[in-house]
Structure 1
């Protein structure tokens, strides 16, 4: 594939709209929305295991130290289709969307230093639902609409400081905008319909540091994301549409720590586990503590690497993965109840162009909340697609 064509594909993905179709979940009603766990597609196929996994042909942008392992300059982009079936005790509805997952560009400078730029999803607000009520015998309909989210733009540097130790640091700029709308429509002309609009803009910088330790067939990894202040600008038009308010304040991203490990069963099979803690309890917005809880995410997964034998069959030269992850959600649904998420994942990768490029596909099947506990549940199905390419920049020509 010519270099110019690779650049064209890369920037085409970068300009791709974040969402093509309306969809959503009432669980994204909270201040920051759904904080999305969207690592690279290799990690997704392994249930999210990535903290102790060096980059290889994919770019590990969750643990900064994971950049080490790249053999050539990598370009990477991915998007996914998501279908969500939302159910309560009396009815259900289906929505779908197509979203950009991430884009990344990484350069290794020899074997011991690497740097990368990446743009990834951090949180998403996407809901559209109605409720029906009455006041003094008059019926009315409330409609709640939210759309937008927060992106993460990162610059990461990693270096090998010892044959067994790798460290890295990442500067991550969080930015985004969320639009919320609350409409009330009355069945009687004696009451005035209202339309309350609110736009929230977020911006702030956080730092992430990580490390990976290698010992024989084991890899152990850890990272820390330091909580940081974000500026929050709010523009609000009141319910009657004749008054505009503008205010500024501070929002806070939570402290986060992740631990992970992998074990090589042999040259082709690895298994791994990650655990991530996020300190959402006590996070404030505009000086007010939010009604959040701390969260824990646990990931388990495995990968089978391609055979390098010349006589290997076509399908034996693919990557195969499977995994599972669980996490409790930091914010409650609109009904005031906290929920958990459970996901099964599986995927495969198809190398081409002599192994320099890889096309990956990953499937996710998940459950968010239950009707009995949370009054509403989401059943989620995702198909993730990723293309990565490689070039031997900043390397000795004899090695080309």
Structure 2
């Protein structure tokens, strides 16, 4: 007689998932040092695993039985019915800022994500995890003469920090042998803080500090579909994928605080105001489509396009100065494994490469009374390194991105990032023979 029981290593892995997600949720992000993150919701993060980032961030049509792809929940049914997947990643790198011939390099790093995927039978699967949404991180300043006071200056210091993260739970159903549907329900949460401090080099001067603390909560829905077109009996196929996210409100609570410090004395609160709103920000309408050509266990090559209607999601533009802009994102990428059954280790490695580009989701004010925007392009190289069990992998991704402002006098940014992820692949149930 045989029974199927959960393996102890699988149970430990599941417990590790439940343990790591709250730790990641409480961790402070430090994956950007961009002054552009002062506006809107900060810098939008990539909600993809390092395995997919190595392919330029392809998501819509990616359907792999060893990769968790929450960007399209229909992909969950690709997993084998007796396999449990767990993936968590971190990254570190350097951010270089350049403006008018000046440069400033800063180190960044962060715990990125933690996701898990569980089969629920032959035609159903579920996934849960924590993924990033946006990040605020900057510090810069300037020094200007005090009007009407000779040989005295005031120093302006700007600082921001915080992040928004998203916990999701998703389900997928293989409706037909070559067609799957999926849906993710998510809860977004986090805090963003901005500080502006003015300090005068005058004795007993009044030095104001303006603090803006924003707390955001929201629910979200993502619907995904994937269809497979078989080409040959030996695993050649074309996958087409689509996703859609409806516009939904974000609940925000904003604390605006002004304090004043007199040189040599303590600080006092001059003004404090708390504003709660459901119209300050919103999740935009988002739609994506992708196509991929795949040879089973050997090759994935594809292209993605994604559209986000941010022009309708940011409503506080008059007071904050910035303007929401509809965003387009495109990606091209591939992954190639020479021979996944070879005895030579180098033949079993997944070699990845990809390109991506996008426009900014907002325009920010400039000193001439107009607005500046920016564009971002990037390239990625990645490796999927199999572990001893030949099922689990370590994903290593090296990425470079260039943020180009629309004005030649604007601030440009260069990012060089190294990402590392551990991707467990465990047998969810193992047959045990009982006498």
Please point out which of 83, 86, 89 is paired with 1:78: 89
Name the count of aligned residue pairs.
397
Structure 2: runs of 5+ lacking an equivalent: 1-7, 231-236, 261-268
State the alpha-carbon separation in 1 of the partners of residues 140 and 101 from structure 2: 14
More deviation, 16-25/352-361:
16-25
Q: Contact 1:281–1:291 (CA<8 Å) still a contact in 2?
A: yes
Q: Give the match for residue 178 of structure 2.
A: 164
Q: Give the match for residue 141 of structure 2.
A: 130
Deviations 1:169-211 (A, max 9, x none): 1111111101111101112237421111111000011111010
The answer as to 2:191 corresponding to 1:152 is no
Change over 3 Å in CA distance of 1:191–1:126 after alignment to 2: same
Structure 1: runs of 5+ lacking an equivalent: none
State the alpha-carbon separation in 2 of the partners of residues 383 and 267 from structure 1: 25
The answer as to 2:85 corresponding to 1:53 is no
State the alpha-carbon separation in 2 of the partners of residues 225 and 139 from structure 1: 50
Deviations 1:126-149 (A, max 9, x none): 111102223424421111111001
RMSD: 2.4
Please point out which of 121, 129, 136 is paired with 2:132: 121
Q: Give the match for residue 292 of structure 1.
A: 324
Q: Give the match for residue 231 of structure 1.
A: 251
1:49 CA displacement: 0.9
Q: Give the match for residue 189 of structure 1.
A: 203
Change over 3 Å in CA distance of 1:267–1:235 after alignment to 2: closer
The answer as to 2:344 corresponding to 1:302 is no
TM-score by structure 2 length? 0.85
Q: Give the match for residue 255 of structure 1.
A: 285
Q: Give the match for residue 92 of structure 1.
A: 103
1:56 CA displacement: 1.8
Tell me the secondary structure at the aligned position of residue 408 of structure 2.
helix
The answer as to 2:354 corresponding to 1:323 is yes
TM-score by structure 1 length? 0.92
Q: Give the match for residue 264 of structure 2.
A: none
Change over 3 Å in CA distance of 1:124–1:199 after alignment to 2: same
State the alpha-carbon separation in 2 of the partners of residues 175 and 385 from structure 1: 25
Change over 3 Å in CA distance of 1:20–1:178 after alignment to 2: closer
Deviations 1:258-277 (A, max 9, x none): 00000136762221000000
CA radius of gyration, larger in: 2
